Structure 1
Amino acid sequence: MTRVRIRALAVVGTVAAMGAATGAQAGAFGLREQSAQGVGVAFAGSASGAAGVSSIFWNPATVTMRPGFNSEQSLTFVNLSGEIRPTVGTAPFLAPFGDSGEIGQGAVLPSGATSYQLTDRLYVGIQTGAPYGLVTKPRPDWAGSIYGRSSRIFSLSFNPVIGYKVNDWLSVGVGANVEYFRLTLRQAIPVPGISPAFYPPAFIKGESWSAGWTAGATITPWEGTVFGVGYRSSVHHDIEGSFALPTFGQQVTANLNTPEKLSVGLTQALNPVTRINFGFEWDNWSRLGDIAITSRQFGVPVTSLALNFKDAYFYSVGLEYDWSPNLTVRGGFGYDDGPIDTSNRSVRLPDGDRYVASVGASYRWSDKLVLNASYAHVFLGRNRIVAGPGQNYNVANIPFAAIADGSADVVSVGFRYAWDSPAALAPAPLVRKY
């Protein structure tokens, strides 16, 4: 691994650790909260239309499921809570500085989708949202400050799609995914001979615009059953930015490929007022592999980052019941076998496998307006963090060990509005959803 010039400045370990956290942030902060309706069923059946118009995010072919001109908007508050407590194995001169305090930060995620019927078979639409994000921020001077002080990820995507109803039982869709990605990471720099309370700060930041594509299909073999499959391609980001130490700064670049996503959904009507939804998602986080941080000035690699993420799998089931012609209630449960384990867990994101329980409801205010509200709780177990010599995360061979606890509360509200009278354009969909 080439470390020219940077080695002379004795900051190789710092740059490597900060870059590694960049990849971990992008991997572990994938967001599904694109639909208030979808939150209520733990995103079960999102690829088969159970997430409303915003199902476009998972499967562009769902744009054909609602005749006429429809818009949907959602606003989701994610309240992440977590704490990291150092344990035996942490360097003795760091341990007295104690735990992280509350690292979680609340975030509001807007998202929306619109579908428009051009002909009896041809539809267009667009979905917007934040596929990656959130923030963690421990106390500035804690035992793990050399491995992370604050981390911020912001993203925004625009997903225009076109869908075509091949016949009464098959629809297909394709689209583009234009994505903006920005990050800022901060940490302390260990300096021999001074107290960790006075370690100077360092940061790395960068941003990128790029694009990918999406495709999918829905199959309605008979009335009351919808099966959907959707695919979102990887987006290749050439991130340009800078890192800075107290006495030195440099422009850098990094190549980051977001994971492909495969979504499968099944919606089955049990009777005229009850539907069950099943969902499965695969995210190819293992494709990140090694990420190089390169000096723009000298055109050589600064370091190579072995993130060693594993693929993620999400399983969910949800139930919807039409309590009355105007009120639908729903609930769901999901299990997320995520990309983070002890081998690649960092203080920036002490993530692990997740369990999600959710409830929600939709109220038809009028023939044109439907209101949605949902709540979900994300359960995280106690997760072990190990950093230092021989580990994926290593700053100046200083050992750090800890136990992390975390959870999240998700509150989502939204509405769907029909701009016209679709009954005049096409028959009502076979599976009615509120």
Structure 2
Amino acid sequence: MGLLSRSLSLAAVSAAALIVAQSGAHAGAFGLREQSATAQGYSFAGAASGSGYLSSMFWNPAVITMMPGWQGELSASLIIPRVDINPLPSVPTFVFGGSGDIGEDALVPSGYASFQINDTFWLGLSSTSPYGLVTDPRQNWSGQLYSRSSRIFSVNVNPVLGVKVNDWFSFAVGPSLQYFDIRLKRAVPFPGAPAASATLPGAPSAILDGDDIGFGFTAGVTITPLAGTTIGIGYRSQVEHELEGSLEAPFGSIGPFANLPITAKLKTPDQLTVGISQVITPAITIHAGFEWTNWSVLKTPLVIGPGGIAVTDIPLNYKDGYFYSLGADYRLNDQWTLRAGVAYEQSPIDTEIRSTRLPDSDRIWASIGASYQWNDRLSFDVAYTHIFTTGDTDIRILPGHQDFEGLPFVANVDASVDIISAGLRYRWDNPKVAIPAVPLVRKY
């Protein structure tokens, strides 16, 4: 097998793994930030300026021009959330109890490959899961009218072309193909019974299910204004999906049909990431990052049934999300590099719109990580992150709330997340005879 074929196969293997992975949302709303074991060790500081090595191409595809020869990278993150929704005694259904832990452990893999054609052009390929969500409360609980389970799953494949214009400026661009799947479940009234019967144990469920393939693009630049300083700017476009699927419910609860074919238009948000990496000494480099995600494009997608009639909607109406990060690494010796970072995330969800499906809030990330260079071709990465919620996370579904269905629901949310990531990088070519390339940050 040729060097290019082997490198691109690495990303293809990861794409296959993504198809069977369950995903938990941990990048604001239902986004997934866990795309790099290396960058996670910094809390993703400098992800757009190359702190994540090859996997930084998720945020900025232009970083592939920093990768000499033929390289591949695989990473996997185990996300361990704990989320409990505890209703207040004033809630009419309080007697039916809280949600239990709605968080589902998730394994999120990703894969990357780059191929240097010459000292000007690079080809790259990534396979990732940029969006994901699994929340699963107890089947019968006090908030079942508003949610029983929720699942969002995605796979994104993104080939790119990188161009190194000169020693201080590079750019890259490429199309992306994205599969998106959503499944939402909640309690509904018994057929022929009053609406309040949806709050009783054993109430039937309505299930909304749909999927689609959409297209977008990524683009980015890297700038090296001074020796040891790298600035990276990356952009991921919106992807518009026209979901096709079904709305299932017991006969009589949503009309004359038990299973309605439906469509719904939904856009995933565009994202802008800025990173800067600065070499302080031969052993120390610091990184900083900023990320903006345009979650406000989601609005309230209408669910269209037969005859073009709206049968329900998906009230989202998120605000934009922001992420600020700072990290550093220390090169202990030729084999070991240690890193750490912190970040603050402004969630696109607040009390005004917070739901039982996704009780998100502002968060603080604290991370540590390490790399081990096994030889001149193979290296390994590990990272650990703990995510703390800030302030009170309340759910207040009262008259005027977008989810309100005639039943008040007020609750406190207790949540935290642990993430463990591991990755490996491999050079398929011989570094001693590869095409020379001067990295923009430090020796890779």
**Identical-pair percentage:** 47
Does residue 298 (structure 1) correspond to residue 304 (structure 2)? The answer is: no
Q: Using the alignment, how far apart are the partners of 1:111 and 1:304 within structure 2?
A: 32
Tell me the amino acid that sits aligned with residue 280 of structure 1.
F
The answer for the alignment partner of 1:15 in structure 2 is none
* Post-superposition offset of 1:88: 4.7
Tell me whether 385-394 or 303-312 shows the greater mean CA deviation: 303-312
Equivalent residues of 1:242, 1:252 under 8 A apart: yes
Match of 1:211 in 2: 215
Picking from 287, 308, 324, the partner of 1:315 is 324
CA distance in 1, matches of 2:71, 2:407: 56
Query: Which residue type is aligned with residue 290 of structure 2?
Result: F
Q: Which residue of 2 aligns with 1:334?
A: 343
Alpha-carbon spacing, 1:311–1:28, altered in 2? closer, same or farther (3 Å): same
Distance 1:401 1:351 in 2: 15
C-alpha deviation, 1:105, in angstroms: 0.6
Q: 1:225 aligns with which of 222, 229, 249?
A: 229
Q: CA deviation at 1:426?
A: 1.2
Question: What's 1:343 paired with?
Answer: 352
Whole-Å Cα distance in 2 between the matches of residues 245 and 26 of structure 1? 32
Verify: 1:70 aligned to 2:80, yes or no: no
Q: Residue 119 of structure 1: CA displacement? A: 1.1
SS, match of residue 197 in structure 1: coil
Using the TM superposition, give the Cα deviation of residue 430 of structure 1 relative to its aligned residue in structure 2, in angstroms: 4.0
Q: Aligned pair in 2 of structure 1 residues 352, 161: CA closer, same or farther (>3 Å)?
A: same
User: 2:261 maps to what in 1?
Assistant: 251
3-state DSSP class of the match of 2:139? coil
Query: Does 2:424 match 1:415?
Result: yes
Partner letter of residue 350 of structure 2?
Answer: D
How far apart are the structure 2 equivalents of 1:208 and 1:26? 22
Relative to structure 2, which stretch is displaced further, 194-203 or 57-66?
194-203
Q: Which residue of 1 aligns with 2:122?
A: 123
Distance 1:348 1:26 in 2: 15
2:323/2:343 contact within 8 Å kept = yes
Aligned-partner Cα distance in 2 for 1:243–1:321:
53
Q: Is the contact made by 1:35 and 1:112 (CA closer than 8 Å) also made in structure 2?
A: no
Q: Residues 183 and 26 (structure 1 numbering): CA distance in 2 closer, same or farther, change over 3 Å? A: farther
Residue number in structure 2 paired with 1:132: 131
Instruction: State the 1:390 CA deviation.
Output: 1.6
- 1:422, distance to aligned residue in structure 2 (A): 4.0
SS at match of 1:28: coil
Corresponding residue number in structure 1 for 2:107: 108
Give the equivalent residue in structure 1 for 2:11.
none
Counterparts of 1:258 and 1:28, CA distance in 2: 11
Contact 1:27 1:285 in 2 (8 A): no
Report the count of equivalent residues.
Answer: 407
- The match for 2:364 among 355, 358, 364 is 355
Question: 2 CA distance for matches of 1:389 and 1:278?
Answer: 42
Alpha-carbon separation, structure 2, partners of 1:89 and 1:25: 31
The residue type equivalent to 2:83 in the other structure is G
Distance 2:386 2:271 in 1: 23
Q: Choose 45-54 or 194-203, whichever is displaced more.
A: 194-203
Question: What whole-Å deviation, never above 9, does each CA across 1:29-50 have from its counterpart, x for those lacking one?
Answer: 1011111001100011010011
Residues 88-134 of structure 1 show CA distances to partners (whole Å, capped at 9, x for unaligned) of: 542x2x11001111111100011011110001100010111110113
CA distance in 1, matches of 2:330, 2:95: 54
Deviation at 1:432, TM superposition (A): 2.0
Alpha-carbon distance in 2 for matches of 1:433, 1:373: 19
**TM-score, structure 1 as length reference:** 0.91
Q: Check the 8 A contact 2:283/2:330 in 1, yes or no.
A: yes
Distance in 1, Cα, partners of 2:440 & 2:315:
49
Q: Determine whether 1:373 maps to 2:374.
A: no
Counterpart contact for 2:66–2:437, Cα < 8 Å: no
Distance across 2 between alignment mates of 1:427 and 1:85: 56
Q: RMSD of aligned C-alpha atoms?
A: 1.7
Which residue is equivalent to 2:12?
none
| CA displacement at 1:80 relative to structure 2 | 1.1
Deviation at 1:308, TM superposition (A): 2.2
Deviates more, 1:127-136 or 1:417-426: 417-426
Unpaired runs of 5+ residues, structure 2, are 1-24, 252-257
Mapping of 1:54-65 within 5 angstroms?
54-65=55-66
Task: State the 4+ residue runs in structure 1 displaced beyond 3 angstroms.
Answer: 24-27, 303-306
Provide the rounded CA distance (Å) in 2 between the counterparts of 1:399 and 1:109.
36
1:260 equivalent among 270, 275, 284: 270
**1:94-243 alignment runs, 5 A limit:** 94-190=93-189, 191-192=193-194, 194=197, 196-243=200-247
1:27 positional shift: 7.0
Query: Post-superposition shift, 1:240?
Result: 0.6
Whole-Å separation in 2 of the counterparts to 1:224 and 1:135: 42
Give the AA of the match of 1:315. Y
Q: Is the 8 A contact 2:377 2:431 kept in 1?
A: no
Q: Deviations for 1:39-78, whole angstroms, at most 9, x for unmatched residues?
A: 1000110100111101111111111001100000001100
Q: Does the C-alpha gap of structure 1 residues 26 and 305 become closer, same or farther in structure 2, counting only changes over 3 Å?
A: farther
Match of 1:6 in 2: none
How far residue 201 of structure 1 moved from its aligned partner, in angstroms, is 1.4
Q: Distance in 1 between matches of 2:314 and 2:178?
A: 23
Q: What SS does the corresponding residue of 1:298 show, helix, strand or coil? A: helix
Conserved in 1, the CA contact under 8 Å of 2:97 and 2:141? Answer: yes
Aligned to 1:50: 51
Provide the rounded CA distance (Å) in 2 between the counterparts of 1:425 and 1:409. Answer: 41
| C-alpha separation in 2, matches of 1:321 and 1:431 | 14
Q: Distance in 2 between matches of 1:353 and 1:433?
A: 36
Unpaired stretches in structure 1, ≥5 consecutive residues: 1-23
